Amino acid sequence: MFGTDTKGQEQSSLPGFSRSSTIDPTIRSHILQGLRDREDDQYNGKGRMQDKVGVITGVGPLNGIGTATAKLFAKEGARHLYLLDIQDESLNKLKEWLEDNYPKTKTTTIVGDCTSSLVIEDLLNQVIDQEDKLDFFFANAG
Ligand SMILES: NC(=O)c1ccc[n+]([C@@H]2O[C@H](COP(=O)([O-])OP(=O)(O)OC[C@H]3O[C@@H](n4cnc5c(N)ncnc54)[C@H](O)[C@@H]3O)[C@@H](O)[C@H]2O)c1
């Protein structure tokens, strides 16, 4: 989805999506490294998200921050993750991966635009109807 240009900056191949110059690739690498360190097989989680229910937006790219966060939260024992992205191409793959690796964590995927108040309202109603609580909302898509 994202390649690199001649200056090593990441570029989006998606129409309407481009990496803004305000995104510091160094910060992104540090965030991803911190998340991936905890993906290590040696680290089994400490139950820090035990029984937590919440939303993560922007979980499309399998190598992105949203996906890495979803994996880490499942490893830390989250009860139910609601994963939203405007594209559906990677959502199902991630859901399958999470169900295979963390069967105790329930995963619900939603294809929608996080800038739409209707989409967010519907999503939050669904979360409250199903789980009767919302512990976190990670507004990662931007
Ligand atoms: N300021 C900084 O230095 C800095 C550094 C790193 C990341 N970030 C930000 O953190 C966020 C996550 O980074 P990443 O590298 O994982 O991003 P990414 O570009 O790899 O993934 C973002 C995802 O958000 C989805 N998305 C975009 N607009 C959406 C919308 N309106 N509704 C729903 N989904 C939408 C895209 O489809 C994509 O799957 C981005 O917003 C990025 O800009 C900022």
Q: Tell me the per-residue pLDDT of 4-39, one tens digit each, with 9 for 90 and over.
A: 444 444 444 444 444 444 667 788 888 888 888 777
Q: Is the pLDDT of residue 95 over 50?
A: yes
Rounded to the nearest angstrom, the distance between the alpha carbon of 13 and the centre of ligand 1 is: 14
Cα 141 to ligand 1 centre (Å): 4
pLDDT in tens, 106-128: 999 999 999 999 999 999 999 99
User: 129 C-alpha vs ligand 1 centroid, how far in Å?
Assistant: 28
What does the pLDDT read at residue 14? 42
**Over the chain, what HEC string results?**
CEEECCCCCEEECCCCCCCCCCCCHHHHHHHHHHHHHCCCCCCCCCCCCCCCEEEEECCCCCCCHHHHHHHHHHHCCCCEEEEEECCCCCHHHHHHHHHHHCCCCEEEEEECCCCCHHHHHHHHHHHHHHHCCCCEEECCCC
Instruction: Report, as an integer, the average pLDDT of 135-141.
Output: 97
Stretch 36-43: mean pLDDT: 76
Rounded to an integer, the average pLDDT of 103-107 is 97
- The residue whose CB lies within 8 Å of the most ligand 1 atoms, and thus the one to mutate among 9, 11, 22, 23, is 23
Domains belonging to the chain, first-starting first, are 48-142 (3.40.50.720)
Cα(140) to centroid(ligand 1), Å:
6
Residue 65 pLDDT > 80, yes or no? yes
pTM: 0.81
Q: Which of 1, 28, 62, 115 to mutate to test the pocket of ligand 1 (most atoms within 8 A of CB)?
A: 28
User: What value does the mean pLDDT of the chain take?
Assistant: 85
Ligand 1 nearest atom to the CA of residue 141, by list position: 24
pLDDT score for 52: 98
